[in-house]
Amino acid sequence: MKTIFRLLRWPLGQIVIFVDWITRPKIPVYAAEKRDELDVNTAKMKLYHFKQCPFCVKTRRNIRRLGLNIETRDARNDPQWNSELINDGGRYQVPCLRIVKEDGSMEWMYGSKEIIGYLDKRFG
Ligand SMILES: N[C@@H](CCC(=O)N[C@@H](CS)C(=O)NCC(=O)O)C(=O)O
């Protein structure tokens, strides 16, 4: 059973990516001033993710819908992001949003629901 799931995981993940691609939300266009303000704020955020993870797809779609530029970091394939997520974040789970706060401290926010709720509240 485990082997079947492993074999199906990749094609299913590709289907998720394809469906996401054909139904992508439109990126809103902001006035230059608002765009700059958003970019300054989101420069302090990084999204640790897996390309095929459905929770990450959901989170990335929300980021796109809000028109945010948040750097994504592939925590499955890139050893640096993988190790940062585990050692600094504390858990090997994606999506995870790393936020640099006003005082310079770092928050590692786990869970698609929490991340989407936070971004909606802050930028929606
Ligand atoms: N409740 C979490 C679930 C996240 C989750 O299950 N992520 C999976 C990938 S789809 C994960 O991080 N798995 C770790 C692993 O593969 O070891 C959310 O909504 O973000």
pLDDT in tens, the chain (124 residues): 788 888 898 999 999 999 999 999 999 999 999 999 999 999 999 999 999 999 999 999 999 999 999 999 999 999 999 999 999 999 999 999 999 999 999 999 999 999 999 999 999 9
Cis ω before 25 (30° cut-off from 0): no
CA distance 24 to 80: 29
What pTM did the predictor assign?
0.94
- Give me the residue spans of the domains in the chain: 2-123
Atom of ligand 1 nearest to the CA of 92: 14
92 ligand 1 Cβ < 6 A: yes
Atom of ligand 1 nearest to the CA of 115: 20
Going by CA atoms, what residue is nearest to atom 1 of ligand 1?
Answer: 111
Asked if 48 and 85 touch (Cβ cutoff 8 Å), the reply is yes
Going by CA atoms, what residue is nearest to atom 7 of ligand 1?
Answer: 94
Structurally, what CATH architecture does the domain formed by 2-123 represent? 3-Layer(aba) Sandwich (3.40)
Closest CA to 67 of 115, 121, 119, 23: 119
